[in-house]
Structure 1
């Protein structure tokens, strides 16, 4: 009887909640956002509108007309296992914020969570939704909100990880655009252990699905990026160029637009252009008031000295971003400066790359004062110095136009990665249901492993503490730089009496000679800047010399660069395990005086690229180039197959192929390398990294890394070897910028011989050229499944060399000092027998060779 009564009580509660949501739906579906212009009326129905003033005892009315309901009125949305604490109302003072001041009342109260808690909303119309979160650590008698650390996630996305607001005067406003696919939406607040979470206000509101198309123009490599519908977006910047701040009161979708003043570089070069907002005429298709209000299109910056024939500068905006993510960049244009059609032609540049050329707005929109927008996707690999730089400048050599360029609005939105995260390298929990027995077995195994690990670490900690010298707490060593995370747990089990560095390396790993800091100072003449031969994210590479005259390549880490340290550690981990005649070798290390220094073998002839173009060096002959390609392919083949899981290099290019004194090729720079997929996996999901021109387009689109990504990059290298030009050259005509596309187009037309390096064009046997180009073409297949393995590529190159020697083509005058050597570094006798024996190298064999230097960092 009691059970039936409880069931009826729960049913009644459910019906009441459902009725409340029905009332909300009935009211919000009548809430229509209308934006009128002279040419059209745009209407969008807000099917879902949830506005919550968290912790407030009453509703909060904003000056834009919106009412945020208090938590008690919204309690049906909240799910928690605790009594929710409401903060006292407090008036902020000396606030520093990027949040709109109109929303200030929302920051006066907060809801505090001691344990994981959730808001759940019914979704009446699945699709795009805005999620806006407000955070301000206002004063509370019991809880210090500035010490709160927590994560925020949805059903499929991590929005914030270990988030905190340390400054009590700061207001933080986060805005996301999420594609919901079910009839429920959950937002979860997860406090860090012994901490708590808080939130001041929440908006969850419908957005038009057409607001973001599924595809956009990719900046690097050029092409089309698809799949935006599957990604979550975080608004990083939304700028009203040359205009004032716009609040939800001025925007059709309750967005905030901030002025661009603090992001614009060289204000002296810009001139304001303004027209009445009513003069903006939205087209029948394309831009609408939902894309941006007419206030945005009614202002613009143009070039201050437009009309001067030699105006070569560009209008420039610079914004700081997280370099680990890709970004959607939306540019808003409206020609409010021209007197007639076809007067304005200009280019768009993103991070120095031409994203669009010869834009003629009057032709694109069929008139003047008509809005137009263009979306671009910038890959994480194209972001340098944690910045996105957008530029517009006049198209050169257009005699019929006045040199000028304009921009009306700019939006930058972070794209979620393949794991669905927008903050760090974390993903939501796997929600696939497991059988109870399997779950218990996994939990038991995990518990056993965890227990053993803790016991071992405790014993190691006691032993290490017993043998630590007096004053060890104040010492700074390389080991103190190592972040304690899962990626480097394998380092935490070694021992050493001489250096703390060794204590973080796995047992059995041989890092070679232990150098003292004074030895390396002497070898580099006190790290003389004249000895610097390379610079990267890790720091600098110095050319050094030991007392016996042996040359050394000395890589000195930079403690202030966390990204460089991660790459540095990846290289240590790989080079301590890998030994191959076509991979650079680690000689030793130094761990003193807060230093992080590695010493490598020196490659006296530097990077392969310098011998192809761009340096005043003798040109390599065709056979020498083939030998180097074969050596590189062997090194990469060993990386892919030399261990159970394999290693993906992820940055294959001619500057990372180094040559020793005998011109033997060795693959270098493993800072971006990743362990390959396991037997149960087809790929590794990871943020896109690599170099312009070499990046696998499939990896760029899907963020799924495989060994075939290295194969694609190596295909670009092969054409670079053949044509002796950069993989990407923005200075060339548009159809020639990308080497891979340019070479493949000539190959399809049967005119490849026109672009071959003239230094070798007359020395290549036709059969060898055919086999070489066949290998390159297969490497550049659009989809990884259609590309060969590095073993197959190696076979093709060996065969091409055999065909070349069998035809005995005359060599062009190359580098006379470059000797042809076999895989053991000895002079080759191929000239004597005219034949070549193709042998599989001993992949585990060690090779003693000169010491290497990395001449150019990424």
Structure 2
């Protein structure tokens, strides 16, 4: 049923809408806030719709807000039929994350046997709250616990196949959506197999200042931009160290839960609070819109703070959907220090450094001044379906009184590239259910809504500009995160030293117990001294750096005979780097091929981790496609490069005694020598292929988003077909000369794999290909090439070709291109020129 953008409202409805806006203002202004310094007043939302669904009369909550009755809200609803349900009373013992004051909203419900649409007129574009209330109250004609339904707001999926089976449970769902171009929002309830229902609805404007555009990306550590383009679901909102903050005490009518049930080491935390009037909001900076003074006036600090050897962290652990990325907002307010510059602490998220040596005094310029910091956590680093936040005294600063403090936590799920905030249960099944399900499967590899994965692209340039970086973020103090009492600085240094010692033999003993044994068994008999490599790199001069990674830096060096080499020096503080070094040596000691970067030698003096490779003069393939001033590659050059890379991968999969899965195939890991011969590099994430009687290797998901096999992402089952998928993305990247992920583009264009597949199905791939080669490709060659890329991107591994078949198709495309050149083929038509 098509709903017009404009619909008539009765005078009573218009009156109530105006009344609601007035009540919202008065309620916020009349909240029980004490006197405190704030640069802004109560927020008055331009758009406000509060509906008590199924209620014969309006409902007024304790916080002063008035919800429309069913009669007053009826002009907003379009549906073929509906049923009203009413229950006499509800017990406050019902389980809910929402305060008892909201109980009146759960007493009634509206039931929709068919599709139902609420149409909300939007007068002000920007952020809007969508709050939904669900409780399966008794109904004579329907058992609401059997309802399974989907809720969307325009094209955004809020709930997919949602149900509430526990009849004692009160469910509250809260979203923050970004309304841009449309002047209406259609809140749609649909059900394929049963019916839908809802107890109450809020659709209310939110301040645009609520979400900042930038945040700190946790992996790799750097800046992420573009947060204002996404939609969010509020997963957790915690008042650390204090009681529940009800909507009546929040300018935006939010609820802040106490953190007790999420604190994993309560003995290590101590509650602290100050009078609300002490809180001084900065101008500019945090406001009461960001969080009310009730949140900033309470906190948890470290118990027994001031002890010189703190061997634990403040730790909170929250369960989340691991298929999504999250924005994490932490609220800080120094209400513990007696003077400035006494408090320095580190922040870890899932064991990764988020902020090192955080100094609230320098950030706020005073005590009891609110401050908040946003982080973006990619789905790839969510362990065991949970987010863990830890704080402890700074490892890089020696404060006079070691301590850490936190006042509030908000965890917001970020919409994915399929414009969804709820997982599709069919995504892991072989039985798709229409275009939307297929689209979500294709995007399953991109846990972050469009741009979260861009942190990998942004951080690459970010890290490249940094001359010095505190590297403990890989594991931080919380590398032993399973045990909060196991995180002392001395313990970490000791464990890292012993781990390196087990991998490397002493340069004096020349034993073969470490990496030397890998080289010896693999025929790598060149052992460099550390002095030799110092001389080759001018003492590891920063000007010689040609690459940076989690392992450390890569330097351009020149040996005594003048031969240029690439020297990879491991970072001793990176546990991740040690693992990748070991893996790379294990893999490269087993393989040699013209299209694999060769490992020349090594140095393991004084616990150094240094590998020496052949130098690839023309660098990464990506630099020749976009983002640099290098001249564009011809179409034939691109074909030959893809064929070379395919040969290297084919050898990895089949040439060794046991196959090898690269696991990180992308254009930055395909290097070009002085003759533009392609060679696959970087085997730090590689994995031995399964045995003949196995189809896959079960392992944690690793790789680069945008290239990641969605089936591997969903099931954690790795196979050589995962490399095939990644190579399919590379093929389109070579053809279109654009990144695999570009969050700056419109949503439908963010993922190159999805975007290119759409145009390929239309038969119009030339519309999006690199202008430098558009119109210069033989039609038959382009068709063969695109077919190879399309097959690589099949949803399921069993449907993808082996690398040998991909190689054959690319070689066929090259033959067609060469034949067309010699015969005078018209690139546009594929025929002979006359």
Question: CA distance change for structure 1 residues 839 and 82 in 2, over 3 Å: closer, same or farther?
Answer: closer
Alignment pair present for 1:184 and 2:184 = yes
Contact 2:177/2:232 (8 A) holds in 1: yes
Task: Give the secondary-structure state (helix, strand or coil) at the position aligned to 1:486.
Answer: coil
Whole-Å Cα distance in 1 between the matches of residues 395 and 52 of structure 2?
53
State how far apart, in whole Å, the 2-side matches of 1:613 and 1:772 are.
30
The Cα offsets for residues 215-234 of structure 1, whole Å up to 9 and x where unpaired, read as 21111122222222221100
TM superposition shift of 1:357: 0.5
After superposition, the Cα gap between the structure-2 partners of 1:731 and 1:365, relative to the gap in structure 1 and judged at 3 Å, is farther
What does 1:261-340 align with in structure 2 at a 5 Å threshold? 261-340=260-339
Report if aligned partners of 2:241, 2:298 keep a CA contact under 8 Å in 1: yes
CA–CA separation in structure 2 for the residues paired with 1:420 and 1:318:
27
Unaligned stretches of 5+ residues in structure 1: 1-9, 428-480, 490-608, 628-691, 695-719, 740-755, 800-819, 827-835, 842-847
Farther off after superposition, 773-782 or 343-352: 773-782
Match of 1:792 among 641, 646, 667: 641
- Give the direction of change, closer, same or farther, for the CA distance of 1:482–1:361 in structure 2 (3 Å limit): closer
Alignment of 1:141-152 (within 5 A): 141-152=140-151
CA contact (8 A) 1:61 1:67 kept: yes
Cα 1:29–1:64 shift into 2, 3 Å: closer
1:618 paired with 2:467, answer no
Specify the SS of the correspondent of 1:110.
Answer: strand
What does residue 431 of structure 2 align with? 485
> Given that residues 85 and 138 in structure 2 are in contact (C-alpha distance below 8 angstroms), is that contact kept between their aligned partners in structure 1?
no
- State whether residues 25 and 47 of structure 1, in contact with CA within 8 Å, keep that contact through their aligned partners in structure 2: no
Cα distance in 2 for partners of 1:401, 1:797 equals 58
- For 2:64 and 2:22, the matched residues in 1 are separated by 17
Counterpart of 1:857 in structure 2 is 699
Change (3 A) 1:730 1:779: farther
Q: Is the 8 A contact 1:723 1:757 kept in 2?
A: no
**TM-score normalised by the chain length of structure 1:** 0.55
Normalised by the length of structure 2, the TM-score is 0.56
Residue of structure 1 in register with 2:574 after alignment: 729
Q: How does 1:130-141 map to 2 (within 5 A)?
A: 130-141=129-140
Give, in whole Å, the separation in 2 of the partners of 1:292 and 1:482: 38
Distance 2:84 2:392 in 1: 55
Correspondence for 1:381: 380
Secondary structure, counterpart of 2:170 in structure 1: strand
Cα separation, 2, equivalents of 1:377 and 1:764: 33
In structure 2, how many angstroms separate the alpha carbons of the residues matched to 1:45 and 1:91? 31
Residue 421 of structure 1 deviates from its aligned partner by 0.3
- Structure 1 position 771 matched with structure 2 position 620: no
Query: CA shift at 1:613, angstroms?
Result: 7.3
- 1:24-423 map, 5 Å: 24-25=17-18, 28=21, 31-32=24-25, 33-34=28-29, 37-38=36-37, 40-92=39-91, 94-181=93-180, 182-193=182-193, 195-396=194-395, 398-423=397-422
Residue 272 of structure 1, CA deviation? 1.3
Q: Distance in 2 between matches of 1:277 and 1:772?
A: 63
Instruction: Rate the CA distance shift 1:82–1:222 in 2: closer, same or farther, 3 A.
Output: same
Select between 771-780 and 289-298 the one with higher mean Cα deviation: 771-780
Q: Is the partner of 1:174 in helix, strand or coil? A: strand
C-alpha separation in 2, matches of 1:251 and 1:409 = 14
- For the residues of structure 2 that align with 1:762 and 1:52, how far apart are their CA atoms? 64
| CA distance in structure 2 between the partners assigned to 1:173 and 1:190 by the alignment | 19
Which deviations, in whole Å up to 9, do the C-alpha atoms of 1:60-85 show, x marking residues without a partner? 11111111111111111011112443
Give a deviation string over 1:617-675, Cα, whole Å, max 9, x none. 53555996999xxxxxxxxxxxxxxxxxxxxxxxxxxxxxxxxxxxxxxxxxxxxxxxx
Residue correspondences, number: 530
The verdict on how the C-alpha distance between 1:395 and 1:24 changes in structure 2, with shifts beyond 3 A counting, is same
Paired with 1:241 and 1:487, the residues of 2 have a C-alpha distance of 43
1:338–1:824 CA distance, 2 compared to 1 (3 A): closer
Q: 1:274 to 1:141 in 2, by over 3 A?
A: same
Whole-Å separation in 2 of the counterparts to 1:790 and 1:620: 35
Displacement of 1:276: 0.2
- State the Cα RMSD in Å: 4.9
Instruction: For 1:849 and 1:203, locate their aligned partners in 2 and report how far apart those are by CA, in whole Å.
Output: 52
1:573 aligned residue: none
Asked if 1:758 is matched to 2:603, the reply is yes
Q: By how many angstroms is 1:277 displaced?
A: 0.6
Alpha-carbon distance change, 390 to 783 in structure 1, aligned in 2, over 3 angstroms: farther
Distance 1:261 1:223 in 2: 31
Q: Distance in 2 between matches of 1:325 and 1:168?
A: 28
Alpha-carbon distance change, 333 to 290 in structure 1, aligned in 2, over 3 angstroms:
same
3-state DSSP class of the match of 1:723? strand
Please report how far the alpha carbon of residue 728 of structure 1 lies from its aligned counterpart in structure 2 after TM superposition.
9.1
SS in 2 for 1:398: coil
Residue aligned with 1:402, SS: coil
Determine the C-alpha separation between the residues in 1 that align with 2:102 and 2:391.
Answer: 33
**For the residues of structure 1 that align with 2:619 and 2:247, how far apart are their CA atoms?**
58
How many angstroms apart in 1 are the aligned matches of 2:117 and 2:393? 52
Deviations 1:754-809 (A, max 9, x none): xx9525999999xx74326824884998799999979638859999xxxxxxxxxx
Q: Distance in 1 between matches of 2:240 and 2:610?
A: 57
SS of aligned partner of 2:372? strand
For residues 762 and 108 of structure 1, what CA distance do their matches in structure 2 show?
A: 66
1:536-685, aligned counterparts within 5 Å?
616-621=514-519
Aligned residue for 1:265, secondary structure, equals coil
Aligned equivalent of 1:708: none
Between the aligned partners of 1:762 and 1:178, the Cα distance in structure 2 is: 48
Deviation at 1:156, TM superposition (A): 2.0
Q: Hey, what's the Cα distance between the residues in 2 that align with 1:112 and 1:157? A: 22
Distance 1:367 1:790 in 2: 61
Query: Contact (CA 8 Å) 2:690, 2:697: kept in 1 or not?
Result: no
The CA deviation at 1:723 is: 2.6
Residue number in structure 1 paired with 2:762: none
SS in 1 for 2:261: helix
Residues 148 and 191 of structure 2 are in contact (CA less than 8 Å); yes or no, is this contact kept in structure 1?
Answer: yes
Alpha-carbon offset, residue 286 of structure 1: 1.0
**SS of corresponding position for 1:96:** coil
Q: Classify the secondary structure of the residue corresponding to 1:235.
A: strand
Q: Look up the SS of the partner of 2:243 in the other structure.
A: coil
Task: Kindly provide the CA deviation profile for residues 399-434 of structure 1, in whole angstroms up to 9, marking residues without a partner as x.
Answer: 34311000000000100001110111499xxxxxxx
Per-residue Cα deviation, 1:722-752 (whole angstroms, up to 9, x for no partner):
536489927999xx9xx9xxxxxxxxxxxxx
Distance in 2 between the 1:487 and 1:118 partners? 22
Decide whether the 8 Å contact of 1:346 with 1:393 is kept in 2.
Answer: yes
Query: Equivalent residue for 2:754?
Result: none
- Give the superposition deviation at 1:44: 2.5
In 2, Cα distance between equivalents of 1:344 and 1:351:
23
List per-residue Cα deviations over 1:274-333 (Å, max 9, x = no partner): 100110000011100000000100011111111111113100000000000000000000
